[in-house]
């Protein structure tokens, strides 16, 4: 049976100070605390898209996490169009903001539906 564990990781440091964007920071935090994860799926939802020069670093972090037996699902909120990013994550990882009054509920619904699809498939 698969379980989902949700961690909220916030980077309050400026990318210039931390040398990282929130997405890369979150992946590094998952790698550092991987022994604490008891579930098989880790979901990261972020509005922090990696800098172009940091996109190449993402696959190595994802591989490390997946080699430890965890499935990682990352969802980007309203990212700019980036072919490199789409190639790594696929277009199902991107949620485009709407002007809907149900914005928060729409995002939660999108993430939950995609997680369920991944668990089934």
Q: Residue 104 is part of which domain span?
A: 4-120
Domain count, the chain: 1
Nearest partner of 72 among 59, 83, 85, 81, judged by Cα: 59
Q: Among positive and negative, which fits the CA dihedral 105, 9, 114, 47? A: positive
- Is residue 65 pLDDT above 70, yes or no? yes
Q: Is 78 within 8 Å of 47 (Cβ atoms)? A: yes
Averaged pLDDT of the chain = 68
Taking only the tens place, the pLDDT of each residue in 81-117 is 777 777 777 666 777 666 666 666 777 777 777 777 7
What's the whole-model pTM score?
0.58
- Of 66 and 12, which is predicted with more confidence? 66
Alpha helices in 13-100 (DSSP H): 15-18, 22-32, 58-67, 83-89
For residue 111, the model assigns a pLDDT of 74
Alpha-carbon distance of 95 to 106, in angstroms, equals 10
Query: Is it the case that residue 4 has pLDDT exceeding 60?
Result: no
């Amino acid at each position: 049976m698969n379980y989902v564990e949700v961690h909220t990781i916030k980077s309050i440091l400026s990318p210039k100070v931390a040398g990282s964007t929130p997405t890369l920071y979150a992946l590094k935090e998952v790698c550092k605390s991987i022994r604490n994860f008891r579930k098989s799926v880790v979901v990261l939802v972020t509005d922090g898209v990696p800098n172009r020069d940091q996109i190449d670093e993402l696959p190595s972090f994802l591989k490390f996490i997946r080699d430890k037996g965890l499935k990682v699902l990352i969802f980007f909120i309203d990212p700019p169009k980036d072919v490199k990013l789409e190639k790594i994550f696929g277009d199902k990882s991107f949620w485009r903001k709407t002007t809907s009054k149900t914005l928060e509920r729409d995002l939660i619904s999108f993430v939950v539906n995609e997680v369920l699809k991944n668990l089934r498939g």
